[in-house]
Amino acid sequence: MSMTIQSSVKDNILAAQDEASKVENAPAEMLRGLDQQIENKVNEGMFFMDQIWVPFVGNARKMIMDEAEVKENRLIGLEMMQKTMDKVVLFKERLKAAKDRQKSYADNRRNPLEFKVGDQLLLKVSPWKGVVRLEKKRKLASRYVGPFEILERIGPVAYCLRLSKDLSTVHDTFHVSKLFGRYKSARTIRRNLGRQDSLIY
């Protein structure tokens, strides 16, 4: 079966195709003189009809697209880093405020430990470990030994004590944190103790 197409129908089809192709071929017609229509924007690339124009030949397209993706990820990373840094600064400020507050509380409650020459003090020995031991370690060892008399003050926080003969191997200078209590001499304490009628024993 062969079909014969009349020339008038053929002409109508060709005319309809020409009209339809005018709109579709508009970008193709615009490609003529393309180099004049491409805009070169500084540091952004080449643009055609407000879209980036990347040559398909070679690795230029792949490099540009990869770099654009990396830049986007880098921006996300920079934003996250900036948020993290802001939080770190906020934490540091809050920690400093809390530290200052705690220090002011401690300073208000802390009494400076100052002793006078001639005072009788106990020497704290319980936490000492290592080579120097003032007495044998046993289950219920005393925490303090003494009392010892202060001979002189050495600097703002150290005192020289008169130690007994059995402690002659121990250095006689101690930090304030190792000293405890303030007593008058043992003789005065004994003299003041006596029986009083007003007290019930």
Hey, which of 9-18, 73-82, 119-128, 139-148 has the most confident mean pLDDT?
Answer: 9-18
- Rounded to whole angstroms, the Cα distance separating 47 from 40 reads 6
Give 65-114 pLDDT, tens digit per residue.
666 666 655 666 677 888 888 888 999 999 999 888 888 877 776 666 77
> Secondary structure of 88-125 in the HEC alphabet?
HHHHHHHHHHHHHHHHHHHHHHCCCCCCCCCCEEEEEC
- Rounded to whole angstroms, the Cα distance separating 129 from 143 reads 13
**What pLDDT score was predicted for residue 48?**
65
Cβ count near 54 (within 10 Å): 14
- Rounded to whole angstroms, the Cα distance separating 106 from 98 reads 12
Give the long-range contacts of residues 149-153, CB within 8 A, separation 24 or more.
Answer: 149/118, 149/119, 149/120, 149/121, 149/185, 150/115, 150/116, 150/117, 150/118, 150/119, 150/120, 150/121, 151/117, 152/117, 153/115, 153/117
Residues in the chain: 201
DSSP alpha helices (H): ranges in the chain? Answer: 7-24, 26-30, 34-37, 60-109, 186-192
- Rounded to whole angstroms, the Cα distance separating 24 from 63 reads 31
Give 21-66 pLDDT, tens digit per residue.
665 555 555 556 666 666 666 665 667 666 666 666 666 667 766 6
- Rounded to whole angstroms, the Cα distance separating 96 from 102 reads 10
Q: Is the pTM of this model over 0.75?
A: no
- Rounded to whole angstroms, the Cα distance separating 85 from 79 reads 10
In the chain, where are the structural domains located?
Answer: 120-192
